Chain A
Amino acid sequence: MDLSHTEEEQDFRARLRAWLAKVLPELPAKPSPDDWPGRRAYDLGWQRRLYDAGYAGLHWPLDAGGRGATPTQHLIFLEETERAGAPYVGANFVGLLHAGPTIAAEGTAGQRARWLPPVLRGEEVWCQGFSEPGAGSDLAALRTRAVRDGDAYVVTGSKIWTSHAEVADWCELLVRTDPAAPKHKGISWLAMPMDAPGVTVRPLRTLAGSAEFAEVFLDEVRVPVANRVGAENDGWRVTMVTLSFERGTAFVGEVVACRRTLGALARAARANGRWDDPVLRRRLGRLYGEFGALWRLTQWNVSEAQGSGGVPGIGGSVFKLAYSHARQELYDAAAEVLGAGALSLEEEWTAERLSSLSYTIAAGTSQIQRNIVAERILGLPKGR
């Protein structure tokens, strides 16, 4: 059990910190949450700076255009960027955290060369077209159909809750290529250009008021067969690779952000006298302990991943369960610090409180995560 960092890791941290101190003040002002083209430009601009400085695709393998950094270095990167208040991956989330790693792991040489560099350089944005109106938790029940016609698939159906669909160039799309096969068998993974004829995007407002995600309607969209990653009808396995990335690393930087928020909450509570309430104070103390432990759990998972070649394990489900609930508790505590002030949408913590409600749902609900933990870690009998 060694929590100290090697000299190399410390060097890496120091250089990164110095670089962040230099570039962050040069960044343009943040666009408003509703200005999607503005957000896209801002996020891609940040990605470009990372690329130019050699920090893009840090944890991606070298042959995928990445830097081949160790999971520990990646962790340091997430920790330092978050601590410095650097922009979040934002619009580039799907490309960097799951479509990219999936193509790197499962794509052909040509597919890697076509799709990976633009993600790293901040030129193309991806979205994730998995969920459908009738297929959420039961993802394998998806019905969007792809029928082969020469060298193209003709795709018809609809997707929902597709984050960033409005501004995406590509969609990692799950389609049914064999309706006769058993549910998990007849699925394929396609890269679909979002500007293809027949694609319609209808933004959906979230309870937080902004349009984070959208419905995507697909009407006889032609997608080249060459855009299929993995074998035909083998998309479910490919998807499981994607999802392990999603659960494994997606929330790491946010633990650091939550710790920052706790500090700000403590300051606010002291300023408005609420710190004297022992119930609230102890609640904040407990959260401080919990987020500290969650950070340690992250380090534990990263050490395990380092030992197993970098693919995050199902320990990610344990983390996601604990984290998503702790995050909601954090913003409930924030509301208690603010008192009635928490009812104002102008309050940053109120917006965060609203958006924290998605964490126990997105990327697999807590109920589904508990099934995964019970069946795959604890070995309890599988449900239907």
Chain B
Amino acid sequence: MDFRLTEDQRDLRAGVRELLAGRYGREALRESVASGAAVDRRLWRELGEAGFFSLRLPESEGGVGLGLPEAVLVFEEAGRALLPGPLVATHLAAGVVPGAATGSAVVTAFDLGGPLVAHLGEADAVLGAEGMPPGEPVRSVDPLTPLWRSSGVLPPEHREAGALLTAALQLGSALRTVELAVRYAGEREQFGQPIGGFQAVKHLCARMLVRAEVARTAVYAAAVTGDAAEIAAAKLLADEAAVRGARDCLQVHGGMGFTWEADVHLHLKRAWVRAEQWHTAREAEELLAARLGTEAEAEAGADAEPDAESEVAVMG
């Protein structure tokens, strides 16, 4: 067992971080917030060329042929950069919807449970749906996730990968808000010293890191095992790390945190959206409880001779 990232995986992550810093840095982010254009078709195609959507497609089908662990690292970076658009749905549509793999098509999904769907007006297709369903625009809490009232079904076969990749986006956002909070706490002075010297502030930051680190291992492990319960736990913990992390980060920023100028609210609002996508906390908890129940029963049945192998699958 060696849980650490391989060199290739580290390189991949660094490469994506660099690409996004150059192509979707803070100015680009603020520009899209100002214009309200969530999906930039040119950027979408560039992401496609870089293999963002075709990452897990076999090489024989024109893809990169990598797995979920690599996809998770790439999506973590996208979350860090607050990259907007239906990234997960388009990634899942690669090989299914023409043009998705290369980024020439924008594909969204009914991952918000039915009453709402994101990016409908900007999308060319909806994952698993025939044609474009009608929808009524709704004012969205997140300026870069336009919403429509519409209904449709989420194809169940994509549910787990969708939840895991969304968890990776949340993780990236959570790690980014730790950085933003720590940087601000080191720069902003009050009472003649950086506020990061005050323990109340320090402890907010430490809590953010602990939540993010626990979420990180959960997300990475779920990507390696692909186990449904581990994916549900990863989503649950990453949602919490992102939402509570953004909230704490906002607190560290004080009045500045409550302004439109600071990026913190963008992280918080996106994290709220993602927390409703693919797996809500309620669904994840129920799924985990069901697994716990089955496992507990199996153990009671096997009693003297616990079925070691099945447990190892979950425990590693």
Q: A295-B316, A371-B202, A380-B182 are in contact. Are A9 and B291 (CB under 8 A)?
A: no
Cross-chain pair count, CB within 8 angstroms: 191
Question: Mostly helix, strand, loop or mixed at chain A's interface?
Answer: helix
Q: A322-B214, A377-B209 are in contact. Are A1 and B1 (CB under 8 A)?
A: no
A134 contacts the other chain (Cβ, under 8 Å)? no
In the docked arrangement, what's the CA distance between A256 and B306, Å? 14
Interface size class of B (residues with CB under 8 A): 35 or more
The segment from B4-12, B77-85, B89-97, B104-112 found at the interface with A is B4-12
How far, in Å, is A336 (CB) from chain B's closest CB?
14
Asked whether, in the complex, the Cβ of A1 is within 8 Å of the Cβ of B199, the reply is no
In the docked arrangement, what's the CA distance between A285 and B193, Å? 44
A52 contacts the other chain (Cβ, under 8 Å)? no
Asked whether, in the complex, the Cβ of B199 is within 8 Å of the Cβ of A371, the reply is yes
Write out the residue numbers on chain B whose beta carbons fall within 8 Å of the beta carbon of A259: 315
In the complex, which residue of chain A has the Cβ closest to the Cβ of B316? Answer: A3
Listed from nearest, the 3 A-B pairs whose CB atoms lie closest are: A289-B233, A285-B289, A285-B288
B300 contacts the other chain (Cβ, under 8 Å)? yes
Most B CB within 10 A of own CB, among A1, A278, A318, A381: A1
Q: List 23 A-B contacts (CB under 8 A).
A: A1-B220, A3-B3, A6-B1, A256-B315, A266-B296, A281-B289, A285-B287, A285-B290, A285-B292, A288-B229, A290-B233, A292-B230, A292-B314, A293-B214, A295-B315, A297-B214, A299-B3, A300-B3, A303-B3, A370-B203, A380-B196, A380-B202, A383-B197
In the complex, which residue of chain A has the Cβ closest to the Cβ of B291? Answer: A288
Write out the residue numbers on chain B whose beta carbons fall within 8 Å of the beta carbon of A9: 1
B207 contacts the other chain (Cβ, under 8 Å)? yes
Write out the residue numbers on chain B whose beta carbons fall within 8 Å of the beta carbon of A289: 218, 229, 232-233, 236-237, 284-285, 288
Contact of A288 among B5, B202, B221, B292 (CB under 8 A): B292
Q: A79-B315, A281-B286, A381-B193 are in contact. Are A292 and B233 (CB under 8 A)?
A: yes
Write out the residue numbers on chain A whose beta carbons fall within 8 Å of the beta carbon of B289: 266, 281-282, 284-285, 288
B140 contacts the other chain (Cβ, under 8 Å)? no
How far, in Å, is A84 (CB) from chain B's closest CB?
9
Write out the residue numbers on chain B whose beta carbons fall within 8 Å of the beta carbon of A299: 1, 3, 217, 221, 316
One digit per residue, 1 when the CB lies within 8 angstroms of any chain A CB and 0 when it does not, for chain B 105-131 equals 000000000000000000000000000
Write out the residue numbers on chain B whose beta carbons fall within 8 Å of the beta carbon of A270: 293, 296-297
For the A-B complex with A266-B296, A300-B4, A380-B196 known, give 10 more contacts whose Cβ atoms are closer than 8 Å.
Answer: A5-B316, A267-B297, A288-B291, A293-B237, A318-B210, A371-B203, A374-B205, A379-B186, A380-B182, A383-B197
Asked whether, in the complex, the Cβ of A263 is within 8 Å of the Cβ of B299, the reply is yes
**Chain A residues within CB distance 8 Å of chain B:** 1-6, 9, 17, 72, 79, 83, 256, 259, 262-264, 266-267, 270, 275, 278, 281-286, 288-290, 292-297, 299-300, 302-304, 306-307, 315, 318, 321-322, 367, 369-371, 373-375, 377-383
Write out the residue numbers on chain A whose beta carbons fall within 8 Å of the beta carbon of B205: 374, 378, 380
How far, in Å, is A111 (CB) from chain B's closest CB?
34
B223 contacts the other chain (Cβ, under 8 Å)? yes
In the docked arrangement, what's the CA distance between A256 and B213, Å? 20
How far, in Å, is B297 (CB) from chain A's closest CB?
7
Question: Mostly helix, strand, loop or mixed at chain B's interface?
Answer: helix
In the docked arrangement, what's the CA distance between A266 and B298, Å? 12
In the complex, which residue of chain B has the Cβ closest to the Cβ of A297? Answer: B217
Write out the residue numbers on chain B whose beta carbons fall within 8 Å of the beta carbon of A295: 315-316
In the docked arrangement, what's the CA distance between A266 and B232, Å? 18
Asked whether, in the complex, the Cβ of B199 is within 8 Å of the Cβ of A373, the reply is no
Asked whether, in the complex, the Cβ of B69 is within 8 Å of the Cβ of A1, the reply is yes
In the complex, which residue of chain A has the Cβ closest to the Cβ of B225? Answer: A3
In the complex, which residue of chain A has the Cβ closest to the Cβ of B306? Answer: A83
How far, in Å, is A322 (CB) from chain B's closest CB?
5
Write out the residue numbers on chain B whose beta carbons fall within 8 Å of the beta carbon of A302: 1, 3
Most B CB within 10 A of own CB, among A83, A278, A285, A302: A285
Write out the residue numbers on chain A whose beta carbons fall within 8 Å of the beta carbon of B300: 267
In the docked arrangement, what's the CA distance between A155 and B287, Å? 59
Asked whether, in the complex, the Cβ of A282 is within 8 Å of the Cβ of B214, the reply is no
In the docked arrangement, what's the CA distance between A8 and B237, Å? 33
One digit per residue, 1 when the CB lies within 8 angstroms of any chain A CB and 0 when it does not, for chain B 293-316 equals 101110110000010100100111
One digit per residue, 1 when the CB lies within 8 angstroms of any chain A CB and 0 when it does not, for chain B 219-262 equals 01101110001101110110000000000000000000000000
In the docked arrangement, what's the CA distance between A7 and B103, Å? 42
Asked whether, in the complex, the Cβ of B1 is within 8 Å of the Cβ of A72, the reply is yes
Write out the residue numbers on chain B whose beta carbons fall within 8 Å of the beta carbon of A281: 285-286, 289
Write out the residue numbers on chain A whose beta carbons fall within 8 Å of the beta carbon of B186: 379-381
Asked whether, in the complex, the Cβ of B3 is within 8 Å of the Cβ of A374, the reply is no
Contact of A296 among B203, B221, B290, B308 (CB under 8 A): B221
In the docked arrangement, what's the CA distance between A300 and B217, Å? 7
In the complex, which residue of chain A has the Cβ closest to the Cβ of B220? Answer: A1
In the docked arrangement, what's the CA distance between A369 and B210, Å? 11
